[in-house]
Amino acid sequence: MEQEKSVVKKETNLGSIRIADEVVSIIAGLAATEVDGVAGMSGGIAGGIAEMLGRKNFAKGVKVEVGEKEAAVDLFVIVKYGVRIPDIALAVQENVKQAIETMTGLSVVEVNIHIQGVILPEEQKTEEVRVR
């Protein structure tokens, strides 16, 4: 049986608290998509814009490396056309860092943003229709 990757967060006299890497990924993905200007997450370099993912699977487009006390995050993001990408990327970095640190107690050492594409307004309307 394959052991689930997790980090031992804290040992108490009642036992240990473990947070799975998948949980950290979901927190990061949700925090990233909360930022105005983010159209969605991409499956990564191989995924491309054609495989832009909806808002249901927040762990997709997120890669995390979690240690005992620290975490590093890579996010593969698709932005809306017309936004200022450096501003959106900074907002995503700050939101993801705050969310992970607040919810897990881990120290986030880096949040790397990989802009995978830009979605045009007409593509965005088509994508919203498909998601509903």
- CATH code for 7-131? 3.30.70.1350
- pLDDT tens for 18-53 read 889 999 999 999 999 999 999 999 874 444 443 454
- Residue 89 to residues 14, 74, 110, 116: CA-CA distances in angstroms? 41, 12, 13, 12
> Can you give the residue ranges of every domain in the chain?
7-131
Average predicted confidence (pLDDT) for the chain? 83
Q: Which of 84, 75, 76 is nearest to 117 (CA)?
A: 76
Q: What's the pLDDT score for residue 64?
A: 95
- 72 contacts: CB under 8 Å, gap ≥ 6: 64, 65, 108, 109, 110, 111, 112
The DSSP code for 106 is: P
Q: What's the pLDDT score for residue 132?
A: 53
**What is the model's pTM?**
0.78
